[in-house]
């Protein structure tokens, strides 16, 4: 994108801001490491060999290759502060010289945080090879074309380097968004436009039709190269209104980065049909919170609706450890003094100045705004209205306790909330019992666990994500459904493999997957579960090396 910015908007002045969407806190040890790392960033540059490889990329223009060779990061563009464990950070300067900061800054923040955890003995690399093998096998058997998109939130450089090196020989691995690692390991550097390209267009070209202008301007710079468009900056519905037949013919496809991936795939196919384009010639790149299992499910779905797809997998590759990854973003905040926003198809991913968010929602999501205005008129003092408009006070706690989700939100965001009272309301719903235990300081883990285990899925998630969870207690609930018995054995440290296996083999599909993916699985027991269904019996005989032809003959 830097090339496009230099060519079309060389004088634009911007500001980016950091947002911690999770509950992680940053201490003095982090701050020392971050300051040292930030100072070292100014010395980053490529090798002569890397610059030569960069020049050979078909979409890189000679003048831009020369610019990149002379480019150096300027740490004076970064201002940051830390208060009560919260990190605030912003980047100010010309767009063309600040645009590259997001990726190395986020990687630095993540690596500094987890470097401390590593010194404290909270994680190591010992299980990464086996985890990666399982993921690679799952993606390969699912015929998923996938790439590494994990630089920003990686645990550390060592992890990402290890992953790209191991995956480079996999037939279905298509490359990495990390250009340095792509050149190092001889794979394809791969990526798409980012939200900031669309956000900035609203300030520089048109608030009403930023999607159309950004699509047209991208083509001015790259022609038919780099032809994957990003639809969700102002919601996919708004994007499709500007994605006419001319533009849709030029672009190879679109990227999914928020909202339900299956619904999105249907909408894409429907749009192509409505404008008279063969959807089977187009591609959807999925990149939102993926893991190997979800990618395989999406691949099957896209095969069924006859559209090509590929996957950009990030955190699941480069930060899959017992302690969770940081949930953070660095997003464009303003261009030439005008605030810009990202709305997204997932309300939780919306970002930007609140007043501008409201303006852009009225432009690009008018139907949703009308419904909210009706709600405001009919129930101006409702809890939901106050929640959306940041009007909640301690006086609203009584109403908050009538709904588990409201109780969780109240405890999380309102200083002075009665944590114990909110917890009693929350544990009636397994999902919010889990979220409460994970996010609320002072939560009673045992009480929340009692609420979470009412549902096998949340019992599994609770055991996997919440420190101090009673693994045996959660397991007892999870194994009531075969799918979560399988996931529990695969993902939860301390799981009783034999007990989980008993739950998994009740369903042929999960019996097969248990034998395929879980170490110490009893192949014979799993086979007993598989032979109830001819399809999974076939898959079992084909994929599980220890099996004999006796199983196939029996079917």
pLDDT in tens, 360-400: 988 998 876 665 555 545 444 567 667 766 778 898 898 88
Distance CA 542, CA 179 (A): 37
Contact 173, 159 (CB under 8 A): no
Q: Which helix (H) or strand (E) holds 182?
A: helix 179-185
pLDDT score for 373: 55
pTM score, whole prediction:
0.69
Domain 2-122+327-333 annotated CATH 3.20.140.10 = yes
Helices (H), 42-101: 48-55, 62-70, 95-98
CATH topology identical between 2-122+327-333 and 128-318: yes
393 Cα distance to chain centroid: 32
Contact 456, 431 (CB under 8 A): no
List the CATH code of the domain at 128-318: 3.20.140.10
SS3 459: helix
Domain ranges of the chain: 2-122+327-333, 128-318
pLDDT in tens, 171-195: 999 999 999 999 999 999 999 999 9
pLDDT in tens, 414-473: 999 999 999 999 999 998 999 999 999 999 999 999 999 999 989 999 999 999 999 999
Tell me the backbone φ, ψ of residue 173, rounded to 5 degrees: -80, 125
SS3 544: coil
Distance CA 133, CA 136 (A): 5
SS3 186: coil
Of 108, 87, 96, nearest to 22 (Cα)? 87
Task: Copy the structure tokens of residue 506.
Answer: 């009740």
Instruction: Specify the range with the lowest mean pLDDT, choosing from 59-63, 255-259, 340-344, 547-551.
Output: 547-551
Task: Copy the structure tokens of residue 10.
Answer: 């060389």
Give 339's strand partners: 334
Contact 484, 457 (CB under 8 A): yes
> How many CB atoms sit inside 10 A of residue 397's CB?
20
Q: What percent of the chain is modeled with pLDDT above 70?
A: 95
| Residue written as token pair 């009480």 | 447
């Amino acid at each position: 994108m830097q090339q496009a910015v230099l060519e079309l908007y060389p004088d634009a002045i911007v500001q980016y801001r950091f947002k911690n969407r999770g509950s992680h806190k940053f201490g003095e040890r982090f701050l020392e490491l971050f300051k040292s790392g930030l100072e070292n960033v100014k010395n980053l540059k490529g090798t002569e060999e890397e610059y030569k490889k960069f020049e050979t990329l078909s979409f890189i223009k000679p003048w831009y290759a020369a610019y990149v060779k002379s480019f150096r990061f300027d740490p004076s563009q970064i201002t940051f502060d830390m208060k009560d464990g919260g990190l605030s950070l912003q980047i100010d300067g010309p767009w063309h010289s600040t645009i590259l900061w997001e990726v190395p800054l986020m990687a630095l923040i993540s690596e500094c945080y987890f470097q401390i955890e590593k010194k404290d003995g909270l994680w190591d690399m010992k299980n990464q090879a086996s985890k990666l093998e399982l993921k690679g096998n799952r993606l390969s058997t699912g015929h998923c074309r996938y790439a590494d998109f994990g630089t920003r939130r990686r645990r550390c450089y060592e992890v990402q380097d290890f992953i790209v090196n191991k995956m480079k020989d996999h037939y279905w691995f298509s490359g990495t968004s990390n250009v340095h690692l792509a050149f190092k390991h001889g794979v394809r550097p791969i990526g798409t436009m980012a939200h900031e390209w669309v956000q900035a267009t609203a300030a520089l070209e048109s608030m009403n039709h930023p999607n159309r202008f950004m699509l047209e301007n991208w083509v001015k710079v790259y022609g038919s190269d780099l032809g994957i468009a990003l639809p969700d900056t102002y919601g996919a519905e708004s994007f499709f209104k500007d994605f006419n037949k001319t533009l849709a013919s030029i672009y190879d496809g679109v990227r999914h980065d928020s909202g339900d991936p299956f619904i999105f795939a249907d909408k894409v196919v429907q749009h192509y049909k409505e404008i008279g384009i063969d959807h089977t010639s187009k591609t959807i790149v999925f990149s939102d919170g993926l893991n190997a299992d979800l990618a395989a499910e999406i691949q099957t779905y896209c095969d069924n609706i006859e559209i090509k797809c590929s996957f950009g997998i990030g955190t699941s590759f480069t930060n899959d450890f017992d302690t969770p990854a940081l949930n953070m973003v660095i997003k464009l905040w303003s261009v030439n003094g005008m605030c810009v926003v990202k709305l997204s198809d997932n309300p939780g991913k919306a970002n930007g100045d609140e007043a501008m968010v409201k303006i852009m929602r009225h432009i690009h999501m008018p139907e949703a705004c009308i419904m909210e205005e009706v709600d405001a008129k009919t129930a101006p003092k409702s809890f939901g209205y106050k929640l959306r408009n940041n009007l909640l006070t301690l006086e609203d706690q009584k109403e908050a306790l009538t709904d588990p989700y409201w109780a969780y939100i109240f405890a999380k965001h309102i200083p002075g909330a009665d944590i114990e009272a909110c917890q009693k309301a929350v544990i009636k719903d397994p999902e919010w019992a889990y979220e409460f235990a994970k996010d609320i300081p002072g939560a009673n883990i045992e009480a929340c666990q009692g609420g979470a285990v009412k549902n096998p899925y949340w019992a599994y998630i609770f055991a996997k994500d919440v420190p101090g969870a009673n693994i045996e207690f959660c397991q007892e609930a999870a194994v009531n459904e075969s799918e979560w018995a399988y996931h529990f054995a695969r993902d939860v440290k301390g799981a009783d493999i034999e007990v989980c296996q008993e739950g998994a083999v009740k369903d042929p599909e999960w019996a097969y997957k248990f034998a395929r993916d879980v170490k110490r699985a009893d192949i014979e027991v799993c086979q007993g579960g598989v032979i109830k269904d001819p399809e999974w019996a076939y898959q079992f005989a084909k994929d599980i090396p220890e099996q004999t032809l006796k199983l196939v003959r029996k079917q």
